[in-house]
Structure 1
Amino acid sequence: MSTSRIELRFGGTGGQGLLLSAKLLADALAVEGRHVAQSQTYEPTSRGGFCNADLVVAHGEVDYPLPIEFDHLVLLDKIAIKPSWPKLKAGALVISDVRLCPELPEGGRFKRYPLPLSRTAIELGSERVTNIVALGVLIELSGICKHKSVEQVVRASSPRGFLDLNMDALAAGYALAKTPAVAAAS
């Protein structure tokens, strides 16, 4: 990508694997020589409260580690819309789970992709990999890193019992980003 600084958020609720998705992406970007600052916010409840994981990505040193305006936003629960929406940059890529974020705010010049992220994960055998499906969609639509880099990181980070499921979820995310519904939204 030609942009020198990219800001993104994975937003949803605690327990959805948002921090893991951000860490996997940060590690994949580091494999490619990018510099990444990661931050997160979450309510004191371990599951169900607002949670987000933010990344600031640069080709050189990250001059300021917190996001100012998001280039990319992944929404896995409607609870994350209100705190995230005002920070979207014009033209931002917004990926949302249609089941858990059925309605997005009107207005704004954003590329919106409401997709069946959690339904796809459930069809794979576990809603727990919704975050990995979303990560695959983000990578495919944004081109933020190479498939090879994230696949290397997912293989190295996955517990043995989840490796195949995580790899299938990543591949399902890539495929979901290539569906006719996505092409129509572009």
Structure 2
Amino acid sequence: MTGMERTEIRLAGSGGQGLILGMQILFRALGLEGKRAAQSQSYEPTSRGGYCYSDLILASDPSDYPLVTGLDMIAALSQVGIDRSLPFIKPGALVIVDERLVETPPTGPFNLHVLPLSQRAAAIGSPRIANIIALGAMAKLSGVCGKDSLETAVCLETPPKFAELNIAAVKEGFAIERLAPAG
């Protein structure tokens, strides 16, 4: 956090994309760095495919309102994820969208990065790790947490048999931002 009292972060997309797990990993990484955060989530009552998001509020002192009022950063892994979150995005916010799953990237006064999250996830070995790649890209682009903390959190929050794949996803996320920002 660079001098900000409160930073609001969202992972958004469709059910089944690991968005809640992703935010639990970021929450753990921030805790490992001694930062104060509150995490919440919401999903539609469909098992897969419905709108889903998980939010995290990072604050320098105890937050009296732990829900999002204006997003400072968002990673969206589906069109519905970005469309339903758009009204909450602050000017100047970091906005990351998947180039394949978000056919119509948003336009606005924010820092947009259209990245091949799902494509890189499939190339590494599983389409299910796009959420972790998105976290790595968000951490790299925003500086919200370090790579080591994120890797440690991944190991603490995911099954050991997937540790290697998830660590590769974090590394890919930190490398993927080499692409130029959109717009």
Smaller-chain TM-score bracket: over 0.9
Q: Tell which deviates more after alignment, 134-143 or 158-167.
A: 158-167
Instruction: Please name the residue that 1:79 is paired with.
Output: 80
> When the two structures are superposed, what TM-score results if normalisation uses the length of structure 2?
0.95
Instruction: Please name the residue that 2:157 is paired with.
Output: 157
What is the Cα deviation at residue 185 of structure 1? 4.3
User: Is the contact between residue 94 and residue 110 of structure 1 (CA under 8 Å) also seen in structure 2?
Assistant: yes
User: Is the contact between residue 30 and residue 36 of structure 2 (CA under 8 Å) also seen in structure 1?
Assistant: yes
Aligned length: 182
**Letter in structure 2 aligned against 1:168:** A
User: Is the contact between residue 24 and residue 157 of structure 2 (CA under 8 Å) also seen in structure 1?
Assistant: no
Where do 1:79-158 residues align within 5 Å? 79-106=80-107, 108-158=108-158
What is the Cα deviation at residue 46 of structure 1? 1.3
Q: Residue 118 of structure 2: SS of its match in structure 1?
A: helix
Instruction: Please name the residue that 2:170 is paired with.
Output: 170
Q: Residue 45 of structure 1: SS of its match in structure 2?
A: coil
Query: Aligned partners of 1:147 and 1:171: how far apart in 2?
Result: 8
The percent identity for this pair of structures is 45
Query: Aligned partners of 1:83 and 1:94: how far apart in 2?
Result: 14
RMSD over equivalenced CA pairs, Å:
1.3
User: Is the contact between residue 124 and residue 169 of structure 2 (CA under 8 Å) also seen in structure 1?
Assistant: yes
User: Is the contact between residue 10 and residue 74 of structure 1 (CA under 8 Å) also seen in structure 2?
Assistant: yes
Query: Aligned partners of 1:41 and 1:158: how far apart in 2?
Result: 20
Query: Aligned partners of 2:83 and 2:46: how far apart in 1?
Result: 19
**Letter in structure 2 aligned against 1:137:** A
Q: Residue 65 of structure 1: SS of its match in structure 2?
A: coil
User: Is the contact between residue 24 and residue 153 of structure 1 (CA under 8 Å) also seen in structure 2?
Assistant: yes
Query: Aligned partners of 1:69 and 1:60: how far apart in 2?
Result: 18
Instruction: Please name the residue that 2:61 is paired with.
Output: 60
Q: Residue 105 of structure 1: SS of its match in structure 2?
A: coil
Q: Verify: 1:20 aligned to 2:21, yes or no.
A: yes
User: Is the contact between residue 94 and residue 112 of structure 1 (CA under 8 Å) also seen in structure 2?
Assistant: yes
Long gaps (5+) in structure 1: none
Q: What CA deviation, in whole Å up to 9, does each residue of 1:47-75 have, x standing for no partner?
A: 11000001111122122100100000110
**Letter in structure 1 aligned against 2:136:** G
Q: Residue 174 of structure 1: SS of its match in structure 2?
A: helix
User: Is the contact between residue 9 and residue 55 of structure 2 (CA under 8 Å) also seen in structure 1?
Assistant: yes
Query: Aligned partners of 2:32 and 2:68: how far apart in 1?
Result: 22
